[in-house]
Amino acid sequence: MNRPNASSKKILVIGINFSPELTGIGKYTGDMVEWFVDNNYECTVVTSFPYYPFWKVQSPYINRFYKREVLKDGKLTVYRCPLYIPEKPGGLKRLIHEATFFVSAFFMIISLLFKPKNDYIFCIAPPFHLGFLGLFYRFFKRGEIIYHIQDLQIEAARDLNMLKSKMAFKILFAMEKFIMQKVDFVSSISKGMLKKISCKINREISFFPNWVDTDTCYPLSNCAELKLKWNFDVNDKVVLYSGSIGEKQGIEAILDVAEKLKSVKFIKFVICGTGPHKDKLIQRAKLQQLDNVSFFPLQERHLFNSFLNMADVHLVLQKKSAADLVMPSKLTTILAVGGLALVTAEQGTTLYEVIKDNNMGVVAPPEDIDHLKEAILNCCTSDSTEIKMNARNYAENHLNISKVIRRMMSNMQKTVYPEPKGIKYLRLDRDAD
């Protein structure tokens, strides 16, 4: 692929999640498309109505029929396709959810065959089978497909016991391999994921990490005073989890630790976000009478930077079974605001190594309540100035959105991005959040 001339290039993006979703893949796909448009690409997006992480369509959208939006002075056209959205997503319901989007998006792709061709086709996985839509479009219109893997969806479903049929997994892996063999480029976001993908298929995998806008997410100097805005005392130590509340995070551990630290009155726990397990956590906190735990909704964009700066400790939790299958996207913003990240990760994983090697956070073993409790106590009583400075510097140098996307577009020919000696890069994903 030659270096693109942005003024003449058109991009088609196919993905189930997109703006205005505030977390996860939708946020990153939206950021990417906005950057393309601002840099003189013309973009067409085939997506769904915004539903994540609430698992219901967000106002003012209505999930009844197709909707076309023309934005950014005509440089961006968004086609929203109807789909089934389960209130309580499980294994089978998720399959139906993704299948209905695939079908409705397929008809939209057919309609795009009668419009001017796109030079690049970005297929965002999951759902992994959206790659078939890209292949279908390319068959008629040509163009180059970038199959970008945000989550290793099939492995996550297997390791988290979301599906149990061995035959089903055999078929799913075969379909995924076929897609990866036929597309022009395969990319992903973490060292661990790149290794796992390389074991599936004998081809080079591009490194395309998630990013953060370091101009809108940045450290503030009045962090203690910000606590008053959210009804905390200036002397409280706020331990924050912000993101999707789902199966991969193991957020139940927060309540376990909160119960053990009831007597430490200055430590307050905040769980911010939404997801299929939030109601259960709220009920459990009430039963346990955890007065040191507060639940907040997702914060609006204009409040998000100050909200993150308000926290003293940022929890980035994962289960053992999700190690190197997903990378928590929330970590990018934590690093950008110079926050103190307390990450649960096993030794040997990408997340563990990059945090340790760059001294930009604290790492505790996953699913170990006692270690997590001690780590929180230590974070709340120790000086973390150096760690916070390292976090901000790392975000500015390696996670800035313009640097990441420019490098990806200009170096597409190379497919694998070499790392300068002595530096380990952080490749991040959604929380998937």
Token pair 């997903």 is at which residue? 326
The secondary element (H helix, E strand) that includes residue 309 is helix 301-310
Please give the mean pLDDT across all residues of the chain. 88
- The whole-angstrom separation of Cα 203 and Cα 258 is 47
Higher pLDDT, 10 or 417: 10
Least confident stretch, 235-244, 272-281, 382-391: 272-281
DSSP 341-368: EEEE--TTSHHHHHHHHHT-SEEE-TT-
pLDDT in tens, 303-323: 999 999 999 999 998 877 655
pLDDT (tens digit, 9 = 90+) per residue, 178-198?
999 999 999 998 877 888 899
Examine the pLDDT at 414 and tell me if it is beyond 70: no
Query: What count of other Cβ atoms lies within 10 Å of the Cβ of residue 321?
Result: 17
The percentage of the chain sitting over the pLDDT mark of 70, rounded to a whole number, equals 90
Region 406-424: mean pLDDT is: 55
Give the model's pLDDT for residue 420: 38
pLDDT of residue 165: 78
The residues, any chain, with a CB within 8 Å of residue 163's CB and separated by 6 or more, are: 91, 95, 157, 169
pLDDT, mean of residues 390-415 = 84
pLDDT band at 2 (very low <50, low <70, confident <90, very high): very low
List 295's β-bridge partners, or say none. Answer: 271
Q: State both tokens at 378.
A: 């230590």
Full-model pTM: 0.79
* pLDDT greater than 90 at residue 134: yes
Indicate the pLDDT class of residue 422, thresholds 50, 70 and 90: very low
What is residue 191's predicted lDDT score, i.e. its pLDDT?
Answer: 77
Predicted confidence band at 353 (pLDDT cuts at 50, 70, 90)?
confident
d(CA 232, CA 254): 19
Higher-confidence residue of 162 and 96: namely 96
